[in-house]
Structure 1
């Protein structure tokens, strides 16, 4: 274990505020597995290689329905086959990113009324809005580049962010119509998008060219050049301007950890939204980053103002894989990070190690939960006391109790589940499904 500083945030106050906010949000959405409310709280599991999404009851953990996320597959393939450039990227995604498979379902969010599901589809380089009652596509937004990736949805449920992998930007859309309302710049391969609770900022990261074979930084400059520009940044939603930008590899080097990757993978925001908990490429563990720490070296930031932000902890988790780093899936030693609403416990998906780690945020003590081959994402359940971990190698989702670090249930889903997101489905839609 490696430690730089001891965490001392006001967890108790933040926990009370966050728990209250969570309860209010669930009530506003009509969440819950009972009979009240206009919608039902669910979890959506994106089955990337299938081109489907499994809808799971958030309380009972029972699968409700499987949604086809590529009902227009014939039309999209006709377009791809007629364009040599699109065909080249479609095949490249299969070989370099999809482990021999097309990527049809990456990320998903519902509207707050539970009637529409927005889905990013990497191999089709687009985002679509699917009417949940009929299964029909009601809008489609095509990327400027050749691949779509992670998304984010604003707290009010109106704005949708989608990372445009090869255009090095993030688009902002009206989630109900798919109309573009703005964009902001990123580095190579924009990835994660996380709104703050008030919707005024977005924590974003670009991961660079994780599909390149140059996985050992022996020649540092050549390595960095081939991996591309990798930034962690905070964006103001008013005007979509970049407020702060960091190279996490440089920040780690300044903290005494040279040679670590700059690519920030999944992240979790603490309730105070000051501390961020990060995973970076090739690292079996987690990093704490204080976005408000003063830079003592007098450096300036992205906007020319005095730089703030510093790595405050670097903590190892057990490395179990015997695979060389060249065989890590898209450079992901670990890929999946969540934090319970109280801000006391982390849930990390140990992708190459076959476990999920339930971690005490303050003491760094961890308990390992064996989940199976290639866990690829972790997120909170609707009610905050569970961590849902997708296990892409076994086509399952494992639900873990934050308090006990015990497996609550294992859910069979579709081929290669990755992103898992909470959402709602309108009750009349549920009746129509039945």
Structure 2
């Protein structure tokens, strides 16, 4: 009996050292599951309108699930596919993926074993993220273009009700025990806590700014972390009443998403910082920053593996997934995927049997890109995503004065002088940054044209009708 007692006593210590059954991962605090060929990592690719499917046991792209067409085909009034594939969540049993398409106001439910579409539900204007309640009975969709959470039945995916929240709900995540739903806002400086069963607001947390795109609950059930993209911060509050703010941390311009990993060394928050192309790592007990991991162009969504040993990061302007080892906090590899990954999800045991290749299609050659840099006052990264004859331009602008108007355009001269053809006007956020988009045959004239026809990307102060001084201009071509 003495020997048996001693063995039981050391089991918890062994689990902490090895990261096995006693550790828990997000979102539902389930026991660790070692990485295997049954797992899948998914990205929602906004510009190719695809879902990329990766086998994390080999870190290989298996193919994509095509939900829509490239531009300009998707601009037709008769278009029936999905547009701006963006957000992502999954069911507690790992059998269903919920994929949000902002432009078509839809939630597409996909069978993870067969990659087949089960159902498509259309909701209100510009939904952003969807997530299943931990018991699987409901799906809560944050309808960011309006002021409510659309509640869908977890079995037939039909809308059953709405929960009124502050304008512009960005995302909902649930407490591990399913008691609370935490909803941050992208248009109002307030996060609300909702009783998941009564559907009533039971707590309110003041955000440091109005623009929260992402929120995560720690698997130990103690904290909630959220990002503030416009001011470059993360906030942390107590997951239980009275939901007091615990910490506000400056992280950097275009702070996108946050997620949590439990490892043998403790519990850590991983935060993507877009304009710096890095992931910052913080302890959740002391809030100390312990690592900075360079990952690639404009990191966006991220999610831990089922055992917390890796973090998978979507690179919005890099058409790739960066894989981070959580023991060393170093980049392991980068996997090519579809265009402009946004939301992501790691689903342990997504494919219970077989190779999981059914209904996948190869990544198309049209998914090429050109990357440029604009330098001067600050620096901006620009990616041109090929869509056939045209490209979608996305610029991650940084280093400019905050809350000021600027114009992105095409200049006749390399120094930005001369005639300038405006592409997009924009306003910088309080951190002096912005995400700017345009569409057209831009690559052909900024990289491929003859000297006489060549144009150069520039950013100038002011509106297109009254352009001012050049602050950034095209510097290099990668």
* TM bin (shorter chain): 0.5 to 0.7
| Structure 1 residue 207 displacement after superposition | 0.9
**Which residue matches 2:422?**
none
Match of 1:288 among 208, 222, 236: 236
TM normalised by structure 2 equals: 0.62
> Once the two structures are superposed, what CA deviation does each residue of 1:225-255 show, in whole Å capped at 9, x if it has no partner?
xxxx332011111122111122223xxxxxx
Report the CA distance shift for 1:19/1:183 in structure 2 as closer, same or farther (over 3 A).
farther
> Once the two structures are superposed, what CA deviation does each residue of 1:132-172 show, in whole Å capped at 9, x if it has no partner?
577654422211x3222111122233421111122311112
| Structure 1 residue 187 displacement after superposition | 1.6
In the aligned structure 1, how far is the partner of 2:56 from the partner of 2:342?
17
Match of 2:190 among 231, 239, 259: 231
Secondary structure of the equivalent of 2:141? strand
What is the root-mean-square deviation in Å for CA atoms of aligned residues?
A: 3.6
**Which residue matches 2:164?**
185
**Which residue matches 1:425?**
351
**Which residue matches 1:242?**
201
In the aligned structure 2, how far is the partner of 1:231 from the partner of 1:239?
20
> Once the two structures are superposed, what CA deviation does each residue of 1:245-277 show, in whole Å capped at 9, x if it has no partner?
22223xxxxxxxxxxx14333233234433222
Report the CA distance shift for 1:286/1:230 in structure 2 as closer, same or farther (over 3 A).
closer
> In terms of mean alpha carbon deviation, does 43-52 or 183-192 score higher?
183-192
In the aligned structure 1, how far is the partner of 2:30 from the partner of 2:36?
12
Secondary structure of the equivalent of 2:338? coil
Report the CA distance shift for 1:189/1:26 in structure 2 as closer, same or farther (over 3 A).
closer
**Which residue matches 1:97?**
none
Report the number of matched residues: 337
In the aligned structure 2, how far is the partner of 1:353 from the partner of 1:363?
20
TM normalised by structure 1 equals: 0.68
Q: Is the counterpart of residue 396 in structure 1 residue 320 in structure 2?
A: yes
In the aligned structure 2, how far is the partner of 1:78 from the partner of 1:178?
26
Report the CA distance shift for 1:18/1:120 in structure 2 as closer, same or farther (over 3 A).
farther
| Structure 1 residue 53 displacement after superposition | 0.7
Q: Give the number of the structure whose residues are more often helix, by fraction.
A: 1
Report the CA distance shift for 1:192/1:32 in structure 2 as closer, same or farther (over 3 A).
same
Whether contact under 8 Å (2:101, 2:107) holds in the other structure is: yes
Secondary structure of the equivalent of 2:256? coil
Match of 1:174 among 145, 153, 161: 153
In the aligned structure 1, how far is the partner of 2:248 from the partner of 2:115?
45
**Which residue matches 1:33?**
36
Secondary structure of the equivalent of 2:276? coil
Q: Give the number of the structure whose residues are more often strand, by fraction.
A: 2
In the aligned structure 2, how far is the partner of 1:169 from the partner of 1:390?
28
> Once the two structures are superposed, what CA deviation does each residue of 1:287-313 show, in whole Å capped at 9, x if it has no partner?
3323557xxxxxxxxxxxxxx343332
**Which residue matches 1:347?**
270
**Which residue matches 1:112?**
93
In the aligned structure 1, how far is the partner of 2:258 from the partner of 2:333?
19
Structure number, greater radius of gyration: 2
**Which residue matches 2:57?**
59
In the aligned structure 1, how far is the partner of 2:287 from the partner of 2:127?
38
In the aligned structure 2, how far is the partner of 1:43 from the partner of 1:162?
21
